[in-house]
Amino acid sequence: MTRLFTPFLFLAVLTSTAFAQTNQVVFSFDHKAGADSMVLNQTVFSIWNNKKVLLTRAEFYISEVEIHHPDSTMVPLTDQYLLVDAKNPTAEFDLGAWPVETAHGVTLHLGVPQSANHNDPAGYPANHQLAPQNPTMHWGWSAGYRFMAIEGKVDNNGDGVPETVFEFHNLFDELYRSLELTGMKEAQNGVLHLHFVLDYAQLFKNMVMTGTLIQHGKFASNIAMMNNAATQNFVTMVGTSTTHEVESNSLNIKVSPNPANSETMLEYTLSASGSLDLMLTNTLGQTVRNLSGISASGTVRLETASLSEGIYYYAFYKNGHLLARKSLMVKH
């Protein structure tokens, strides 16, 4: 399938705008256990060893958020903290206005960074996420905040009804964790709304859930849960793909010439079915052109004569899921 990108299709924003447009950044979350919604005190779900679990409390902090630009640079959302609580499943978090138009992924940190972890909660305004909470999310000036508080019951007698109480309060600087998610979302009407799915079943991966189940601190079970939160797809971003998937698919794209002067050709074969979307952006994350309905393999001719010199990024998507991304140099 062949598509032609003619010069007049490219937006003048490439030459007339020096900075990315500012948009309000909003986060929201779906609370799930596997494929099902997770409701506190109600949803009984299975974990990795088929034990049944019921959650009665599920709270955790997110901090040091960074939005990924298409050129892999980051926009840090400084001094922003989120206290995600399954008790308020429809909550939306307004992180303020930032110079970002398209997110090509995010970096999240689970917990509170050392620079803020030992502050006095009373020093924050009442509506601040680090202010005193009920129930409390602060352990004391030495240990700092509870990075994650997960409480509930587990079925240890095999009758299918959770009966054994557990509490995992994960704290101390050593348990601070980061994770990187790759995906794509464009701002609309001045708002960049990023939506995430939480799968609480993943927090218990390889935890036998026997023995001492009241663990407050940085014991082995607390460490295991924080590691699971960072590595076992506890948090996923709508439209997410792994770095490995993107890199593998990107090997199946050929572009020639690169650098391009007046035009270049994209030849590609991607592991997808149905129609795809192709997005072209500049290094500020500004969308230059969206092309919808292209096939999963074919050739695209890009006319580049009218583009300013510099680096551009083209990416293929399937229903918002990033498949492949590569760079293009334009030089006249």
Phi/psi for 5 (5° steps) reads -100, 105
Q: What share of the chain is helix, strand, coil (3-state, %, to 5)?
A: 15, 50, 40
**Least confidently predicted of 18-27, 49-58, 70-79, 199-208:** 18-27
Please report which confidence band the pLDDT of residue 14 belongs to, taking 50, 70 and 90 as the band edges: very low
| Distance from C-alpha of 61 to C-alpha of 147, rounded to nearest angstrom | 6
Instruction: Flag whether the pTM goes above 0.95.
Output: no
pLDDT of residue 242: 55
Tell how far CA 83 is from the center of its chain: 16
Q: Which residues lie below 8 Å from residue 98, measured CB to CB, with a gap of 6+?
A: 22, 23, 25, 67, 75, 77, 192
Structure tokens at 311: 């680096």
The residue-averaged pLDDT of 304-318 equals 84
Structure tokens at 153: 């019951």
| Distance from C-alpha of 301 to C-alpha of 314, rounded to nearest angstrom | 13
How do strand 2-5 and strand 297-303 relate by DSSP bridges? parallel
Structure tokens at 254: 């050929």
Please report which confidence band the pLDDT of residue 20 belongs to, taking 50, 70 and 90 as the band edges: low
Domains of the chain: 23-237 (no CATH), 243-330 (2.60.40.1930)
Render pLDDT for 189-245 as a digit per residue (tens, 0 to 9).
888 989 999 999 999 999 999 999 999 999 999 999 999 999 999 999 875 455 667
DSSP string, 40-84: TTT-EEE-TTS-EEEEEEEEEEEEEEEEEPTTS-EEEEEEEEEEE
* Coil vs helix vs strand at 250: helix
The H or E element that residue 145 is part of is strand 144-154
Q: What is the radius of gyration, based on Cα positions, of the chain?
A: 23
Reply yes or no on whether the pLDDT at 307 is more than 90: no
Nearest to 202 by CA among 222, 168, 226, 229: 229
| 45 within 8 A of 36, measured Cβ to Cβ | yes
**Least confidently predicted of 19-23, 53-57, 71-75, 197-201:** 19-23
Other CB atoms closer than 10 Å to residue 106's CB: what's the count?
Answer: 26
Identify whether 76 is preceded by a cis peptide bond (ω within 30 of 0). Answer: no
Reply yes or no on whether the pLDDT at 70 is more than 80: no
Amino acid (1-letter code) at residue 101: E
pLDDT of residue 327: 87
